[in-house]
Chains A and B, each alone.
Chain A
Amino acid sequence: MAQRRKNVLPGFSLTLGYTLLYLSLIVLIPLTAIFVKSAELSPAEFWRIVSAPRVVASYKVSFGLSLAAAGINSVFGLMLAWSLARYSFPGKKLVDALVDLPFALPTAVAGIALTALYAGNGWLGKFLETPGHSIGFVLAALWRHLGGTEETAAYLSDSCAEALAGFGVKVAYTPLGILVALIFIGLPFVVRTVQPILEDLDMELEEAAASLGARRWQTFRHVLLPILLPALLTGFALAFARAVGEYGSVIFIAGNIPLVSEITPLMIITKLEQYDYAGATAVAAVMLLLSFVLLLLVNILQTWSSRRMRRGY
């Protein structure tokens, strides 16, 4: 009994017991199964599967685009969190609720909606793939509205289409489309991790910095950012982890062209479709390892940054 008293908080053994049991059942055992299954392969076979050109190309697509999406979300998510925490404006509650929507939406729905929007015949895709036509169309309509002649209107629309012919951007069915989907699903993570910190942050801190002569950028760089960095990194890591594992929304917009826009989860699914469990788990194991290393790096960075902050920067 004497030993148990050491913990001031009650329920230590119960909660720790459940923590371990829960983590083992939900996380560790399934993950171990992946490594056990992939151990059926000889090292040479394992290496041949995980280093096949198509699989390697898919790592680049999955990890590269997930990092990019998490990075973009960190910048714009911070801005969103900032405006939600610092200002009050009409419809703020609505915007606040909108941020969580990508969480709630089934990923397949998100994928189909984004594809419909960005495909060559979609609202946005039409403009992005042929900006000249769209601008020309608007200009010609304006000209007609102002009472201009039909010939000039036609000339306007044609010359616009011609001048901007090379500037079209294809989003759906390209890696760019994958990036759009990953940004969509990762947005809430950064906002929701940074927002509470910003709300707790006293504005006096910024005012003090300003009164001591700091410029706006200096206040942000030396006062706000160090405090926000740990939360921002957590948001980045969560958004990244979610993006790497994402299948449902990406698969509709990717086009799935070998060596160009195949994501690693698709490579795993294709192996499962051929009843190649061992091959699928081999790729999954590599994916897990890569993700783990990257997340570990982010965590180390985070510890380092919060220690730096505590030292008084």
Chain B
Amino acid sequence: MRALSFSVSLSLLVFLALPVRAELSLLNVSYDVSRELYKDINPAFAAEWQARKQERIEINQSHGGSSKQALSVAAGLEADVVTMNQSPDIDVLVERGALVAADWKRRFPHESAPYTTVSVFLVRKGNPKGIKDWVDLAQPGVSVIVPNPKTSGNGRYTYLAAWGQALQKNGGNAAEAQKFVAALFKNVPVLDGGGRGATTTFTQRDIGDVLVTFENEAALIADELGDERFEVVYPALTIEAAAPVAVVDKVVDKHGTREAATAYLDFLFSPAGQRIIAQHHFRPRDPAAQKQYAARFPAVRTFTVENTLGGWAAVQKTHFADGGIYDQIVEHR
């Protein structure tokens, strides 16, 4: 009998430890480097919601590697909204358990991506190796820091930027493009797990002549460490990365939070939201915000995965799947 009561109380203890849901709250599951952005977005949205609805709203954040976060949501993390840095991480929620409706890209303007960013180069002050464009990264004797394309969205964009611009230069010759990207990756001494790791390797460990990363990350480095040590170089042609967002339909229907979740994502596209986005060095969609912060975003020729490389599904299959072109390149370095 005592054993039974012991067991019962033990199991009760476990259940009591489970958290209780607050009144109106949203969980935003997001990628790694959007942490600072949403720290500013959330209070601004909560204030707007309070003014409009006379109701308190709390927004909780979860950050991590984009694909890892998507996996958590697919596995049951109850996110009301997801804000990622590449669309495959939302598509996977359509495929697995139909958590998100298949037409998520049409729910919000600009294919449901409130902002974009571009891949740029960060070089050491004075640009001692004279790095101006992609072709300079493949020269012998240049050391290039790139996050691991297998584990990082940032790394995948870098790889695809190098590939896409080489394709354009060679009139679509894939063999030439592969040769170029292989030469570039021969110059990579360290493949860090994520974008922040690569930043640390380049800025703190003093390894590499050039770091290829997103514009917002490069701007953040300049802000944090001062402009004296590094400068940003814009290549002639680079990739534009759109950061997609979506309401997780199955979860908001369960929580009854569809209205709030939709309003939250709408806020990202509003003038106020767009200004906050621009302040964090992400390229806004709103022309007014673009104009206001024009000095931060030099004009640069870009292409996207969708318009030049045949979309993410194709790219995933030919480049990043096991035995794909990326594997062939790094295994024969």
A residues neighboring B (CB under 8 Å): 14, 49, 52-54, 112, 115-116, 119-122, 172-173, 251-252, 255-259, 266, 269-276, 279
Residue of A nearest to B70 (CB): A275
Task: Chain B residues near A271: list those with CB within 8 A.
Answer: 322
Chain B positions within 8 Å of A14 at CB level: 3
Q: Which residues of B contact A275 (CB under 8 A)?
A: 67, 71, 92
- Alpha-carbon separation in the docked complex, A258 to B191 (Å): 9
Pairs A–B under 8 Å by Cβ, sample size 28:
A52-B322, A52-B323, A54-B331, A112-B200, A120-B206, A120-B207, A172-B205, A173-B207, A251-B193, A255-B190, A255-B191, A256-B190, A256-B193, A257-B191, A257-B333, A258-B327, A259-B330, A259-B333, A266-B151, A269-B151, A270-B151, A271-B322, A272-B67, A272-B71, A274-B67, A274-B320, A274-B321, A279-B322
Indicate if the CB atoms of B331 and A53 lie closer than 8 Å.
yes
Q: Is the CB of A54 within 8 A of B327?
A: yes
Inter-chain pairs besides A120-B205, A270-B150, A272-B68, 9 sampled, C-beta below 8 Å: A49-B322, A54-B331, A119-B207, A256-B192, A258-B331, A259-B333, A275-B67, A275-B71, A275-B92
B192 to chain A: closest CB distance in Å? 7
CB nearest neighbor in A for B316: A274
The yes or no answer to B148 lying at the interface (CB within 8 A) is yes
Asked if B207 contacts A273 (CB within 8 A), the reply is no
Q: Provide the bound-state CA to CA distance between A251 and B192, in Å.
A: 8
Q: Chain A contacts of B65 at CB under 8 A?
A: 273
Chain A residues near B150 (CB-CB < 8 A)? 270, 273-274
Contact between chains at A273 and B3 (CB < 8 Å): no
The 8 A CB mask of B50-92 against A (1 = contact, 0 = none) is 0000000000000001011001000000000000000000001
The complex places the Cα of A241 from the Cα of B316 at a distance, in Å, of 34
B90 to chain A, nearest CB (A): 12
A120 to B202, CA, bound (A): 12
Judging by beta carbons under 8 Å apart, are A173 and B189 in contact? yes
- Number of inter-chain CB pairs below 8 Å: 71
For A273, what are the chain B residues with a Cβ–Cβ distance below 8 Å? Answer: 65, 67-68, 150-151
Q: In the complex, which residues of chain A have a beta carbon less than 8 angstroms from the beta carbon of B193?
A: 251, 256
With A115-B205, A116-B204, A116-B205 in contact, is A256–B322 under 8 Å at CB? no
CB <8 Å contact, B191 and A256: yes
**Chain A: CB-nearest residue to B147:** A256
**Interface: B311 (CB within 8 A):** no
Q: With the chains together, A52 CA to B327 CA distance in Å? A: 11
Identity of the chain B residue whose Cβ is nearest the Cβ of A49 in the assembled complex: B322
Nearest A residue (CB) for B150: A270
B205's contact among A52, A121, A272, by CB below 8 Å, is which? A121
Residues of A within 8 A of B68 (CB): 272-273
Q: In the complex, what residues of A have CB within 8 A of residue B191's CB?
A: 255-258
Other-chain residue from B189, B206, B322, B331 in contact with A121 (beta carbon distance below 8 A): B206
CA A257 – CA B146 in complex, angstroms? Answer: 12
The CA of A49 and the CA of B323, in the complex, are separated in Å by 10
The residue in chain A whose Cβ has the minimal distance to the Cβ of B206 is A121
Query: Which chain B positions have C-beta within 8 A of A173?
Result: 189-190, 207
CB < 8 Å neighbour of A276 from B204, B207, B322, B333 = B322
Shortest distance between the CB of A109 and any CB in chain B (Å) = 13
User: If A49-B322, A272-B71 touch, does A255 touch B189 (CB 8 Å cutoff)?
Assistant: yes
User: Is B197 at the interface (CB under 8 A from chain A)?
Assistant: yes
Query: Which A residues are CB-close (under 8 A) to B323?
Result: 52
Q: Which residues of A contact B320 (CB under 8 A)?
A: 274
Query: What's the least CB distance linking A46 to chain B, in Å?
Result: 13
CB-CB < 8 A to A54: which residues of B? Answer: 327, 331
- Residues of chain B within 8 A of A279, CB atoms compared: 322
Closest B residue by C-beta to A11: B3
Residues of B within 8 A of A274 (CB): 67, 150, 316, 320-322
B330 contact set on A, CB distance < 8 A: 258-259
Residues of B within 8 A of A115 (CB): 205
Q: In chain B, what residue has the closest Cβ to A112?
A: B200
- 1/0 per residue B194-211: CB within 8 Å of A? 000100100011110000
Q: Which residue of A lies closest to B96 (CB)?
A: A275
Closest to A257 in B: B191
The docked-state distance in angstroms from the alpha carbon of A93 to that of B184 is 53
Whether B197 pairs with A119 at a CB distance below 8 angstroms is no
> Ordered nearest first, which 6 A-B pairs have the shortest CB separation?
A270-B150, A119-B205, A258-B330, A256-B191, A255-B190, A273-B67
Bound CA–CA A105/B323 (angstroms): 37
